[in-house]
Structure 1
Amino acid sequence: MSTAELRSALLGLEIFAGLTEDQLDWLVSVSEPRVLADGEVLFRDGEEADGFHVLLAGGLVVTKVVDGREEVLTRHSTEEESAAAEEHDGKPSAAHRFTGELPLLTDGSYVATAAASGPATTVVAYPKPVFFEMLTRCHGVAAVLIPVLAWRIKSSEVQARKRATVEALGTLAAGLAHELNNPAAAVARAAQELAPALEGLTRTAQAWGAAATGAERSVFDRLAEELDKLPPPTTTDPFAQADAEEEIADWAEEAGTERPGLLGSGISDLGLELGWLLERLEGVSEPALPAALDHLAALLEIRSLAAELRAAGPRISQLVAATRDYANLDRAPEQRFAVADGIENTLVVLRAKLAGIAIVREYEPGLPELTGYPSELNQVWTNLVDNAAEAMEGAGTLTLRVRAEGVCLVVEIADTGRGIPEDSLPRIFEPFYTTKDVGKGTGLGLHLSYRIVTQRHHGSITARSRPGETRMVVRLPLTTAAACAAPPDEPTSDSSTTR
């Protein structure tokens, strides 16, 4: 391409249309034309951004690998028909003719891959220093570039929101396929086991009645009554539960019970340990102890089967409710709702990812309801919990706290994962910024969460991190007139490792 042809081609572009003769002379002198073969890569996702690229002829296809799948984000074309087809989503015509400005302005890496589409794609490359000099020398360039930049950020956010919705629905659908089968299987199993369990309960009741004194029966009755009133455990630690089950079973076997394993699992499932059981059985003599333990094991078995039958219906209702909430993302009207319900919904959706992770709930009793958009906040909880699960890699403790604090409702999601690098922490809410490997993150999840919390709900979201502890703190106003800014002295980082 001759100098005259390059000059004419550049002058015909909207971004350079207002340049003076001197500015155009300079632009031509620093231009580096390049012809790409069909499919040839101009730049790759994750590479350090080193240039601003102007399309003179042909086309470019911009793609990104997300969770192992290559997705087409947009296409740039110099052909009017192809360009018009891409403008249905409000894409400015000028956006077809240049790319690469966003990572240069944010001093980051390319956030997607661009490759030639067509046999004779011609681009002009401007290295990073030249691009910034261009903005200084040619003021008209910024007037065209800024609206395109705003559209690209907005378009990326919209795509990320759609992708997040689809991913949430996909996760929920996979969970539903598994979880909806569980209640039916539980009903069938419980029905099958109920008859022999009732026979066992009758037999152990007779044996216990024959072996026990009146005082011992009173001890057992108090134990059974206390078990009836026990609330479900607030902390679930699978390892501690397994240790407790084994300890109770070993002791029960030495005591002479027929089904020590059943007793161990029944007591440990309630979050109880051997010491608790020994204390409640004081007053039962050694000769009567085996009969007491056999009867207790049979009683716990019946109650467990009954609980499974009672839980089957609500479990299905909960899953259906979760599906309804997620299917209405971005369409739900403003309403009054309980934040803790949305968090529990999120745990249902992400149950498979949370396998092996201990969950601690610290919900302040009597929490007031919030006015806002519950489905959008579900996106926030899903993103924060999912990030925490990834950071812990299947082992650790997830702590969920909800409390009222003045005019705000405060939600804390804490994990015991690797932590966030100290130099990354101030940037985690920026669009397109990610610490994940290429293809494993869009860099928009936390940015979208930030927008939902701050713009849609007028709240705040902050992060604190050190090795072994990362806390995301969301503050939401309880009334529309309130404001929930983060405390000015709240730190954003304590120290760092790689997350």
Structure 2
Amino acid sequence: MSAAATNGREPKELRDALYGLEIFAGLTEDQLDWLVSVSEPRVLADGEVLFRDGEEATRFHVLLSGGLVVTKVVDGREEVLTRHSTEEDGGAAEEHDGKPPAAHRFTGELPLLTEGSYVATAAASGPATTVVAYPKPVFFEMLTRCHGVAAVLLPVLAWRIKSSEVQARKRATVEALGTLAAGLAHELNNPAAAVARAAQELLPALERLTATACAWGAAATAAERTVMDRIAVELDELPPPGTTDPLAQADAEEEIADWAEGAGAERAGLLGSGAADLGLEADWLPQRLAGLAADRLPVALDHLAALLEARSLAAELRAAGPRISQLVAATRDYANLDRAPEQRFAVTEGLENTLVVLRAKLTGITIVRAYDPALPELTGYPGELNQVWTNLVDNAAEAMEGAGTLTLRVRAEGVCMVVEVTDTGRGIPEEVLPRIFEPFYTTKDVGKGTGLGLHLSYRIVTQRHHGSLTARSRPGETRMVVRLPLAPAAPAAPAAAAAG
């Protein structure tokens, strides 16, 4: 008894069902007889899985009745990629993106042709879903025996690859925006917190400064006020302290505070911390205040403590404001907002902005920049290239697992700009290296990668910018090399002009 009969369909019924499909409509009687003899019909319960993402591809599946839902887990979330349906209006929702009608009736051909695994999970949708499976050897024999099958299959295959790339670009855009938002939030946290703290403390500090200024002005003589004015000028002209020993700074702070407390100051600790932050030695203040009367020294020290506090808060605001502006500028440049799609740009700016955006992922990683001086500008699409830099740097960071060295090299080489991204991570296995730019190929665990990041990067570099993207790897060193032409590609000559 045939496999068809054992699964509830007589050979003639199966033959008629297959012949009614576009992919098999042009077959001869002998081809149909052979096709029925190698068919493996299967009835699926609602929700039953036909194949799973990551499993080795072993069969080509044809949908006879019912429907299939194709899903993929991305970043822990299950996303619906497409639906296949045999109902006349069942696929209406899928036709907005140009899905060919024949695409509803078969699945699984792509991983068979690429010698890979299934790139998504397919499950039955509805209580009466019937599929016919063809093992891998039979599928390839089908392509050679039945030439009409390839004529229907190849356009559908091309559409699926294009559709997957479009979905991947949309997903990459969302992921890039998410990465951008996360990186920006992380980087903005410190300066924003500094601004919030300084703003909260500034009003009480100004009140203390006003009160101590009044007290000092009432108590001091004209000569003593001159001494304090001279100290204020010196504080303004102090250069920023260099790198100091934290222990030495703590010792200086304690000595200054002890001296001020012994002189009767009420805010000796504040004075000690403010003076030590400026890099002042323990004897700096005593030398300059030596001529003040003992009963007026505490008032002078309290006024000086309030002055240092207000200036410290102002310095925090001055430092935090530009940092926020720099982050906003880097984000704008990274996203390429308010700019023409094609423009002149500096490659290193995109790399630096990418490092800013991915700073949180690069914690613990040493970054080495080897940029040749006087690099020329490029004409192209910096926003798209930023996606390339993000993919390469992100992959490098992941390979190093939080420890290692990331080296960015940029140089002009003949008529090309060469950008190298090198990491000291685990490396890419030799047998895997030739396939890393293939669509849907990934070495990551199921649900952690689409297999399209490097493929999209490859297309951006090669098709959009007419360059090249290559990889070399060994344990402890992986080097991704991007070559971009310095001059934009000349537009193709019109056919009429070429003929003339």
For the aligned pair, the TM-score class normalised by the smaller chain equals 0.7 to 0.9
Change (3 A) 1:265 1:372: farther
1:437-466 Cα deviation digits (max 9, x unpaired): 000000000000000000000111111111
Change (3 A) 1:123 1:376: same
Mean CA deviation greater in 248-257 or 156-165: 248-257
Q: Given the alignment, which residue of 27, 38, 47 partners 1:30?
A: 38
Which residue of structure 2 lines up, in the alignment, with residue 165 of structure 1? 173
The counterpart of 2:96, out of the listed 64, 77, 88, is: 88
Aligned partner of residue 90 in structure 2, secondary structure: helix
Aligned match of 1:148 in 132, 151, 156? Answer: 156
Aligned counterpart, 1:383: 391
Which residue in 2 is equivalent to 1:477?
485
Distance 2:132 2:338 in 1: 40
- Separation (CA, whole Å) in 2 of partners of 1:303 and 1:355: 32
Q: Match for residue 271 of structure 1?
A: none
Is the alpha carbon distance of 1:445 and 1:263 closer, same or farther for their aligned partners in structure 2, counting shifts above 3 Å? farther
Distance 1:180 1:125 in 2: 55
Within 2, Cα distance between the matches of 1:471 and 1:455?
21
Counterpart of 1:352 in 2: which secondary structure? Answer: helix
- 2:357 is aligned to 349
Q: 2:302 is matched with which residue?
A: none
Does the 8 Å contact 1:39/1:117 carry over to 2?
yes
CA RMSD of aligned residues (A): 3.6
- SS of aligned partner of 2:484: strand
**Structure 1 residue 256, shift from structure 2 partner:** 10
Q: Distance in 1 between matches of 2:283 and 2:110?
A: 75
Distance 2:286 2:19 in 1: 92
Counterpart position of 1:336? 344
In structure 1, stretches of 5+ residues that fail to align are 200-205, 211-216, 231-243, 268-287, 483-499
Match of 1:13 in 2: 21
**Contact (CA 8 Å) 2:331, 2:353: kept in 1 or not?**
no
Number of the residue aligned with 1:133? 141
1:366 aligns with 2:370: no
- Sort the Cα spacing of 1:329 and 1:186 in 2 relative to 1 into closer, same or farther, 3 A: closer
Q: Could you list the per-position Cα deviations for residues 210-238 of structure 1 after superposition, in whole angstroms to 9, with x for gaps in the alignment?
A: 9xxxxxx9xxx9xx87x79x9xxxxxxxx
1:452 aligns to 2:465 (yes or no): no
> 1:46 maps to which residue?
54
For the residue of structure 2 that corresponds to 1:362, the secondary structure is: strand
Task: Tell me the CA shift for residue 414 of structure 1.
Answer: 1.4
Provide the C-alpha distance between the structure 2 equivalents of 1:411 and 1:304, rounded to a whole number of angstroms: 42
**Following the alignment from structure 2 to structure 1, what is the Cα–Cα distance between the partners of residues 283 and 33?**
100
Question: Whole-Å Cα distance in 2 between the matches of residues 367 and 291 of structure 1?
Answer: 50
Do the aligned partners of residues 253 and 309 (structure 1) sit closer, same or farther apart at CA in structure 2, a change above 3 Å counting?
closer
Mean Cα deviation higher: 144-153 or 180-189: 180-189
Q: 1:104 aligns with which of 112, 131, 144?
A: 112
The question of 1:403 aligning with 2:411 is answered: yes
Moved more, 329-338 or 453-462: 329-338
Seen in structure 2, the aligned counterparts of structure 1 residues 34 and 440 have a Cα distance that, compared at 3 Å, is same
Which residue of structure 1 aligns with residue 191 of structure 2?
A: 183
User: Aligned partners of 2:357 and 2:390: how far apart in 1?
Assistant: 8
Of the three residues 433, 437, 443, the one matched with 1:425 is 433
Contact 2:419 2:483 in 1 (8 A): yes
The alignment-based identity, stated in percent, is 82
Closer, same or farther: CA 464–369 of 1 in aligned 2, 3 Å? same
Structure with higher Rg: it is 2
Question: Counterpart amino acid of 1:399?
Answer: T
AA aligned to 1:336 is R
Structure 2's unaligned 5+ residue stretches are 1-8, 213-226, 257-271, 288-304, 491-500
Residue 332 of structure 1 deviates from its aligned partner by 5.1
CA separation of 1:465 and 1:58: change in aligned 2, threshold 3 A: same
CA deviations 1:21-68 (Å, max 9, x no partner) are 111111010000000000000000000000000000000000000110
CA separation in 2, counterparts of 1:438 and 1:294? 68
Q: What does residue range 206-285 of structure 1 map to in structure 2 within 5 Å?
A: 248-249=245-246, 258=255
Aligned to 2:405, the other structure's residue is in SS state strand
The alpha-carbon deviation at position 326 of structure 1 amounts to 5.8
Deviation at 1:181, TM superposition (A): 4.2
Which TM-score applies when normalising by structure 1? 0.75
In 1: Cα distance, 2:111 partner to 2:325 partner: 46
Question: Which of the numbers 71, 80, 88 marks the counterpart of 1:72?
Answer: 80
Summarize the Cα distance change of 1:20–1:126 in structure 2 as closer, same or farther, 3 Å threshold: same
- For the residue of structure 2 that corresponds to 1:79, the secondary structure is coil
Task: Kindly provide the amino acid, as one letter, of the partner of residue 430 in structure 1.
Answer: E
Given that 1:169 and 1:326 are in contact with CA atoms closer than 8 Å, whether structure 2 keeps it comes out as no
Contact 2:250 2:276 in 1 (8 A): no
* Cα displacement (A) at 1:320: 3.1
CA 1:93/1:290 → structure 2, altered by over 3 Å: closer, same or farther? same
Deviation at 1:289, TM superposition (A): 7.8
Give me the whole-angstrom Cα distance separating, in 2, the residues matched to 1:10 and 1:329: 52
Structure 1 counterpart of 2:58, one-letter code: D
Equivalent in the alignment of 1:413: 421
Residue pair 2:404, 2:423 contacting (<8 A) in 1 also: yes
Q: What is the CA–CA distance in structure 1 between the aligned matches of 2:58 and 2:166, rounded to whole Å? A: 27
Would the aligned equivalents of 1:190 and 1:309 in 2 still touch at CA under 8 Å?
A: yes
Task: Look up the equivalent residue of 1:165 and give its one-letter code.
Answer: T
- Equivalent position SS for 1:19: coil
CA distance in 1, matches of 2:278, 2:483: 40
Check 1:142–1:326 CA distance in 2 against 1; reply closer, same or farther (3 A cut): farther
The Cα shift of 1:120 comes to: 0.8
Distance (Å, rounded) in 2 between the aligned partners of 1:89 and 1:451: 21
Shift of 1:314: 3.6
* CA distance, structure 1, for counterparts of residue 318 and residue 436 of structure 2: 44
Contact 1:407 1:477 in 2 (8 A): yes
Q: Which residue identity is paired with 2:96?
A: H
Return the letter of the residue paired with 2:429. Answer: P
Paired amino acid for 1:76: H
CA shift, 1:189, in A, is 4.3
Equivalent position SS for 2:431? coil
TM-score of the superposed pair, with normalisation by structure 2: 0.75
In structure 2, distance between residues paired with 1:430 and 1:265: 56
Classify the secondary structure of the residue corresponding to 2:122.
strand
